[in-house]
């Protein structure tokens, strides 16, 4: 939902917001310019009386002195001929610096454009709407970020998605506070100008007059009422009207109005500033950055990012929209199709499976309609079966293209009960694995729809699992059905093997540690390096995955990265699987051999932020991501590693490195378990025996990371449930808070 609202607002307001932001960026440069202007010379210890006296001595018929937030002083006066004049003056001498006041014609033109697009009052309304839209885009962007990153405490974790999405997220986070500040304060200023939020000005209640005095005029420098006010507090000083002995000095500061007798300097009346005046002055200064060069710089830099952020957001939206469209050949109309396929996909990957299914069913002689799930209506007049392919977004939520589907399904009263099958796509490491698909299946069961097949769940886009489901579907439909889906593979890089270590040959479980050099690294441009640094998207980061393509296959196999982010090489740990095409290929690879691979972020298994302890549990090659994290633990964060293997003499990966890490305090504690020794134990047994120590760590706020096979992960999860129960906690609760993370294979 948040993504839909954020995208819609962004698309509607794109041009308007960018125009406001860029013109605002130009205006924000002027407070910075003023801070370094020779016309703005701060004079310590000066009072309003000092300034007024010096100006009055230099100029005739002074009418008013204005001190700008930058410190620049402007004077209104009449020359010898009586003509009205304006000038900038040096506060130290009262002499005219220049007759050119204000910021010049360019500033005035850009300011008018920023405030009204040269359209007068109508333009002010449009600009106000633009400011409000900017605020809404930012607010819903924050809500989307919280949902996408898994909680408010994780919004500054490494960004997810492809390059455009990661850069869009990272730049948005940098500009978020300045954007919100500009948008909210700008909306407020517009509301005050239209008096929707009126600003009540301080006004004199007594309208006092100066004392009846017939002597010579008195220099303002001698008036105590003006001498009591520091120059830095001055906003405006209105001089008495010439030849009117009853008129007074009216001094305006942030605190309010002060009326001063022009002859004896007595303070005749003090009117405090109203609350609305104070709020307006504060918010207007925050909006413009006037008098705060640092804020002007911050606002300007953030505003300059707006077209980049908008362009990347548009690219992400277009890419997602392109993936979510059912543009397939021979797509039968909804009313005449025998089989309807409804798809819910967040990133677009589920559509690849849906197109393969549509193509295979069509080739088998069926008329098939493929559509997004939210298009579901009671209009499938010829349908006999409805198939649901549903991905799950975030913590068990429906993707954007299906947010209203379940409600529509539950509330419809006149739907036929079509025969149905549900396929869920997700990642078993998530707490709410395929939850949206499970919700669909439960709702269909409640509505009494007959099942064509029991619900099936596809882990990590497994082409093999999808093919198996296709065989079952074909049997149910009485069709020979073969579903061959090739996962869309990103651009690969050439990696050359430079080092290889072999373990476990004694126990017939050969495992290799492979280190590769990126052959394209020397071609990396300075700009790309800067963007990678900005987005936190290092080439190969611990806990991320390296997708390797076997020489004769198009389906990548993923291995956890074991090298630190700063390493020149990328390292993985691979166990040779019986019949495993990619693992056999990698284990047999010779030094100098080249593989094609790509890095894939694994943000749901990233190291939790902060300094609190981390309990790491793994078996076999599951140690790989933890080795990388330990290598770059320069802050000496408490890491407690549990690892299980067959025997200490064979297959004990990284034994020497772990000993060195213990000595250097990069690793706080190591607990091992070996299953092929006299006192055989598995890693879950060590977790159980260490329950008191682990309970104490969890009470300190420790996080748990588990990496390895599914059976091991389930056993470890059960032990932690036992440890957490006396603490009033559960594994599920920790998962929701981002403190229990799993990478299961």
CB 113 within 8 A of CB 24: no
* Whole-number Å distance between alpha carbons of 352 and 113: 47
Ranges in the chain, pLDDT < 70: 1-13, 35-43, 100-103, 147-151, 153-154, 157-163, 214, 319-327, 347, 394-395, 400-401, 429-431, 487, 505-508, 521-539, 553, 650-651
CB 187 within 8 A of CB 130: no
CB 404 within 8 A of CB 359: no
Cβ atoms within 10 A of the Cβ of 139, count?
Answer: 19
CB 335 within 8 A of CB 379: yes
CB 338 within 8 A of CB 410: no
What is the DSSP code (8-state) at residue 489?
P
CB 465 within 8 A of CB 458: yes
Distance of CA 138 to the CA centre of its chain: 10
Mind giving me the DSSP string for 310-327?
Answer: HHHHHHHHHHHHHHHS--
Strands of 222-347, DSSP E: 234-238, 248-253, 256-261, 267-272, 339-344
CB 173 within 8 A of CB 154: no
Q: How far is CA 637 from each of CA 418, 543, 669, rounded to the nearest angstrom? A: 56, 17, 11
Cβ atoms within 10 A of the Cβ of 498, count?
Answer: 13
493, containing H or E segment: strand 493-503
* Whole-number Å distance between alpha carbons of 423 and 356: 14
Which residues are 431's β-sheet partners? none
The two tokens of residue 47 are: 């009072």
Across the chain, mean pLDDT equals 84
* Whole-number Å distance between alpha carbons of 678 and 71: 83
Whole-number pLDDT of residue 347:
67
List the domains of the chain with CATH numbers.
2-35+107-198+283-315 (no CATH), 48-91+202-273 (no CATH), 326-477 (3.40.50.360), 493-601 (2.40.30.10), 614-744 (3.40.50.80)
Tokens 């291995």 -> residue? 559
What is the DSSP code (8-state) at residue 515?
E
Distant-in-sequence, close-in-space partners of 69: CB < 8 Å, separation ≥ 6: 31, 285, 290, 291, 292
Query: In terms of DSSP H, where are the helices of 268-384?
Result: 275-288, 293-304, 306-324, 349-363
Strands 248-253 and 740-744: unpaired
Tokens 């079966």 -> residue? 385
Give phi and psi for 575, each to the nearest 5.
-100, 135
The two tokens of residue 631 are: 């290598």
Q: How far is CA 387 from each of CA 105, 393, 451, rounded to the nearest angstrom? A: 65, 19, 10
Among 500, 499, 515, 542, which Cα is nearest to 630's? Answer: 542
pLDDT digits (tens, 9 = 90+) for 384-406: 999 999 998 765 777 766 777 88
Among 299, 303, 304, which Cα is nearest to 286's? Answer: 299
* Whole-number Å distance between alpha carbons of 128 and 114: 10
SS3 339: strand
Strands of 551-661, DSSP E: 557-560, 569-575, 594-600, 614-619, 639-645
Whole-number pLDDT of residue 535:
45
Strands 456-459 and 419-426: parallel
Among 169, 239, 187, which Cα is nearest to 210's? Answer: 239
SS3 207: coil
What is the DSSP code (8-state) at residue 610?
S
* Whole-number Å distance between alpha carbons of 704 and 738: 9
Distant-in-sequence, close-in-space partners of 441: CB < 8 Å, separation ≥ 6: 422, 455
**Sign of the Cα pseudo-torsion (194, 199, 202, 205, in order):** positive
End-to-end CA distance of the chain: 31
What is the DSSP code (8-state) at residue 451?
B
Whole-number pLDDT of residue 103:
67
* Whole-number Å distance between alpha carbons of 290 and 29: 10
What is the DSSP code (8-state) at residue 32?
H
Radius of gyration, alpha carbons of the chain: 35
Tokens 């098939």 -> residue? 368
pLDDT digits (tens, 9 = 90+) for 358-390: 999 999 999 999 998 888 877 788 999 999 999
Instruction: Give CA torsion, residues 324, 330, 331, 336, to 10 deg.
Output: 180
Distant-in-sequence, close-in-space partners of 377: CB < 8 Å, separation ≥ 6: 334
For the chain, the residue count is: 745
Q: pTM of the full predicted structure?
A: 0.57
What is the DSSP code (8-state) at residue 160?
P
Mind giving me the DSSP string for 647-684?
Answer: BTTBS-TTHHHHHHHHHHTSSSEEEEEESSSTT---HH
What is the DSSP code (8-state) at residue 473?
H
């Amino acid at each position: 939902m948040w993504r839909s609202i954020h995208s819609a607002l962004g698309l509607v307001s794109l041009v308007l917001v960018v125009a406001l932001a860029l013109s605002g960026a130009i205006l924000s440069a002027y407070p910075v310019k003023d801070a370094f202007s020779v016309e703005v010379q701060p004079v310590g210890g000066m009072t309003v009386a000092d300034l007024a006296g010096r100006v009055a001595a230099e100029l005739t018929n002074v009418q008013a002195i204005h001190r700008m937030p930058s410190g620049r002083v402007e004077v209104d006066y009449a020359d010898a001929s009586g003509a009205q004049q304006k000038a900038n003056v040096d506060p130290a001498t009262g002499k005219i610096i220049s007759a050119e006041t204000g910021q010049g014609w360019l500033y005035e033109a850009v300011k008018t454009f920023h405030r009204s697009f040269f359209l007068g009052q109508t333009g002010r309304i449009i600009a106000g709407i633009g400011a409000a839209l900017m605020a809404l885009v930012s607010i819903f962007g924050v809500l989307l970020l919280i949902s996408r990153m898994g909680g408010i405490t994780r919004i500054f974790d490494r960004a997810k998605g492809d390059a455009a999405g990661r850069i869009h997220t990272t730049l948005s986070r940098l500009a978020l506070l300045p954007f919100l500040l500009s948008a909210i304060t700008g909306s407020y200023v517009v509301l005050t100008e239209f008096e929707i939020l009126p600003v009540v000005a301080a006004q004199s209640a007594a309208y006092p007059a100066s004392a009846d005095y017939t002597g010579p005029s008195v220099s303002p420098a001698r008036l105590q009422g003006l001498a009591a006010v520091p120059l830095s507090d001055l906003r405006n000083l209105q001089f008495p009207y010439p030849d009117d002995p009853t008129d007074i000095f009216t001094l305006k500061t942030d605190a309010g109005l002060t009326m001063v007798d022009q002859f004896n300097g007595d303070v005749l009346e003090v009117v405090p500033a109203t609350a609305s005046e104070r709020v307006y002055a504060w918010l207007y200064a925050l909006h413009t950055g006037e008098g705060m060069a640092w804020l002007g710089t911050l606002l300007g830099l953030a505003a300059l990012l707006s077209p980049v952020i908008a362009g990347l957001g548009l690219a992400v939206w277009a890419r997602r929209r392109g993936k979510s469209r059912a543009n397939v050949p021979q797509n039968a109309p909804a009313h005449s199709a025998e089989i309807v396929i409804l798809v819910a996909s967040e990133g677009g990957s589920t559509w690849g499976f849906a197109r393969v299914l549509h193509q295979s069913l069509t080739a088998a002689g069926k008329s098939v309609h493929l559509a997004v799930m939210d298009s579901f209506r009671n209009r499938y007049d010829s349908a006999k079966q409805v198939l649901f392919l549903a991905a799950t977004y975030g913590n068990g939520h429906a993707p954007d293209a299906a947010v209203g589907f379940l409600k529509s399904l539950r509330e419809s009263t006149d739907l036929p009960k079509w025969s149905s099958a549900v396929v869920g796509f997700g990642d078993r490491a998530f707490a709410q694995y395929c939850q949206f698909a499970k919700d669909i299946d439960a709702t269909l069961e409640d509505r009494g729809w007959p099942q064509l097949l029991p619900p099936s769940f596809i882990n990590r886009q497994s082409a093999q699992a999808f093919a198996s489901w296709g065989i079952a579907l074909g049997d149910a439909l009485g069709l020979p059905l073969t579903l061959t889906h090739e996962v869309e593979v990103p651009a690969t890089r050439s990696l050359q093997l430079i080092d290889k270590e072999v373990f476990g040959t004694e126990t017939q479980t050969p495992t290799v540690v492979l280190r590769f050099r990126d052959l394209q690294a020397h071609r990396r441009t300075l700009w790309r390096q800067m963007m990678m640094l900005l987005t936190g998207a290092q080439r190969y980061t611990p806990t991320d995955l390296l997708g390797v393509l076997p020489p004769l296959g198009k389906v990548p196999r993923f291995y956890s990265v074991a090298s630190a982010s700063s390493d020149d090489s990328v390292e993985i740990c691979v166990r040779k699987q019986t019949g495993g095409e990619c693992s056999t290929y990698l284990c047999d690879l010779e030094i100098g051999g080249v593989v094609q691979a790509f890095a894939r972020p694994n943000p749901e298994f990233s190291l939790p932020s902060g300094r609190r302890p981390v309990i790491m549990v793994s078996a076999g090659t599951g140690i790989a991501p933890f080795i990388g994290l330990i290598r770059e633990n320069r802050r000496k964060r408490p890491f407690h590693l549990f690892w299980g293997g067959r025997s200490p003499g064979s297959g004990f990966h990284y034994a020497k490195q772990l000993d060195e890490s213990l000595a250097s305090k990069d690793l706080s504690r190591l607990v091992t378990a070996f299953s092929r020794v006299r006192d055989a134990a598995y890693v879950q047994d060590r977790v159980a025996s260490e329950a008191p120590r682990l309970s104490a760590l969890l009470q300190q706020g420790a996080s748990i990371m588990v990496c390895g096979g599914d059976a091991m992960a389930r056993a470890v999860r059960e032990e932690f449930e036992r440890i957490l129960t006396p603490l009033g906690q559960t594994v599920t609760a920790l998962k929701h808070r981002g403190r229990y993370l799993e990478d299961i294979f």
